């Protein structure tokens, strides 16, 4: 693979372009979500899923899905989509059959789908990557 690995800023830009291309009403719902692109997931994030290998987690949604929100909710932090650059790069290199921009878009959409209230089963049902 001759393509250089994107920087954190490059990956952030790829994700933001993906978000900007979401159709309505998803684009409007996505505006209230913070996007964070970092190299690795924090240990507490891995612990929440009983993961030992930090390469297993490419992205994470933290928050209350829009389908479960109530006007009574008092958020302690903004809903956040996390993208983990190093695990995404590891998957990209291991696959060898996809452009990095498409993998970043895939992970971004997957995590925002959780914000929209979709379960992993819902996502797998419509996402051809999981077939």
Rounded mean pLDDT of the chain? 88
pLDDT, residue 120, reads: 76
pLDDT, residue 61, reads: 95
Q: Is the pTM of this model over 0.85?
A: yes
Helix (H) or strand (E) segment spanning residue 37: strand 34-38
Ranges under pLDDT 70 in the chain: 1, 75, 126-131
pLDDT, residue 130, reads: 45
Which 8-state DSSP code applies to residue 129? G
- CA pair distance 90, 87, nearest whole angstrom: 5
- Between the CA atoms of 49, 84, 15 and 25, what dihedral angle is there, to the nearest 10 degrees? 10
pLDDT, residue 129, reads: 56
Task: Encode 17-36: b = buried (16+ Cβ within 10 Å), e = exposed.
Answer: ebbeebeeebeebbeebebe
Residue 64 dihedral angles phi and psi, to the nearest 5°: -110, 120
């Amino acid at each position: 693979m001759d393509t250089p690995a994107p920087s954190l800023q490059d990956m952030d830009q790829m994700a933001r372009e993906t978000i900007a291309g979401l159709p309505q009403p998803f684009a409007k719902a996505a505006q209230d979500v913070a996007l964070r692109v970092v190299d690795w997931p924090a240990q507490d994030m891995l612990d929440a899923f009983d993961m030992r290998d930090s390469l297993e987690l490419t992205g994470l949604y933290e928050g209350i899905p829009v389908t479960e929100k109530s006007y009574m909710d008092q958020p302690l932090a903004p809903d956040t989509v996390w993208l983990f650059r190093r695990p995404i790069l590891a998957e990209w290199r291991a696959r060898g059959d996809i452009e990095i921009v498409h993998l970043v878009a895939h992970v971004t959409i997957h995590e925002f789908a959780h914000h929209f209230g979709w379960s992993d089963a819902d996502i797998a049902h419509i996402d051809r990557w999981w077939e």
